[in-house]
Structure 1
């Protein structure tokens, strides 16, 4: 990676992904053991990044390469560019480093993200967050009959709706390895098991209870639709 910020972004994501996709022990166990043994934590983390994030998890370093993101060809890596286009034009979601206790470098700031948007998509690209919030309702979501589910360990749950309201129930699936998409994917969330097996979650019952709630809400809403339909 030629741009320092891209490399630093990659390093931070490597840590976050362990929690986001249900593999916290892959990161925490070797680091805790190394700390107890007085070993080099940087070397242990580097091994985790190479063996797990790039190896087992299968991330492509090119995902973080701004030159790669400029490529408009439609291929397996196109989703990287699509995600950043949404970030740079609609939602921002800039993952800037907090001022204290950050796993992200302080160089990953607002300027880094705006520079990325300009470099990848050209002049005049800026996230119109206000327009996005107006269109979708912001905190007053312009919708109804939506079930929100979040894994307790998923960092993205803080960008979701975590409090229930009429017609928009929200559930937190709480367990040690419940992350991004646990409701559908089970545990871990990556590598993907298409069946969404919950048995590998540290609390399978917590997953199954929320899944049952989802079914109940959808069944109710579908029955209401049938009840208001016109007969021919």
Structure 2
């Protein structure tokens, strides 16, 4: 028998307030900090057709910012605008970056999903039509769909970029 899990809001907040080195919620606290300072992307369920709890509101999520980090809820729009302006939003000027997204990934809204132009070929998107968040990082299975198997060829991109970078470095040295 497994004990029941306490999934209350109060327990979640208590866990997020734990700043000890060995906290089991370190990643959740770090992510929450990023939502308060950079992203502002919250998973809410305020629509009447939402199948989850209607208690998942934007107000509840943004109340964590002052509670956990002393960051005003009113500063969130300016922080998000700064992040998008600084990094280029969904059209960043990046070099040798892969943007991997799944078709049923709610986080794709925060990513780059459009293919790049030819002159920006060093920054590419990989869209896996029928997968969810981080599916490309899970262990390989016999049952994986072909699109997922193809997407996992990320190491080919990275290997090519590393080879190109090494060649560029050698050229700069005049070798």
Q: TM-score category by the smaller chain?
A: 0.7 to 0.9
Closer, same or farther: CA 123–151 of 1 in aligned 2, 3 Å: closer
Task: Identify the residue that residue 57 of structure 2 maps to in structure 1.
Answer: 109
Task: Identify the residue that residue 174 of structure 1 maps to in structure 2.
Answer: 129
- Tell me, yes or no, if the aligned pair for 1:62 and 1:68 is still in contact at 8 Å: no
Deviation at 1:121, TM superposition (A): 2.2
Using structure 1 for the length normalisation, give the TM-score: 0.59
1:70 pairs with 2:17: yes
Distance 2:160 2:71 in 1: 48
Q: How many residues align?
A: 162
Task: Identify the residue that residue 130 of structure 1 maps to in structure 2.
Answer: 81
Deviation at 1:215, TM superposition (A): 3.4
Using structure 2 for the length normalisation, give the TM-score: 0.75
- Tell me, yes or no, if the aligned pair for 2:103 and 2:129 is still in contact at 8 Å: yes
Task: Identify the residue that residue 30 of structure 2 maps to in structure 1.
Answer: 82
Q: Which runs of 5+ in 1 are unaligned?
A: 1-50, 186-195
1:121 pairs with 2:69: yes
Task: Identify the residue that residue 206 of structure 1 maps to in structure 2.
Answer: 147
- Tell me, yes or no, if the aligned pair for 1:97 and 1:104 is still in contact at 8 Å: yes
Deviation at 1:132, TM superposition (A): 1.2
Query: What is the Cα-based RMSD across aligned positions, in Å?
Result: 2.8
Deviation at 1:153, TM superposition (A): 2.4
Q: Which runs of 5+ in 2 are unaligned?
A: none
Closer, same or farther: CA 144–62 of 1 in aligned 2, 3 Å: farther
Distance 1:102 1:65 in 2: 22
- Tell me, yes or no, if the aligned pair for 1:67 and 1:120 is still in contact at 8 Å: no
1:61 pairs with 2:2: no
Deviation at 1:60, TM superposition (A): 6.9
Answer with 83-92 or 134-143: which moved more.
134-143
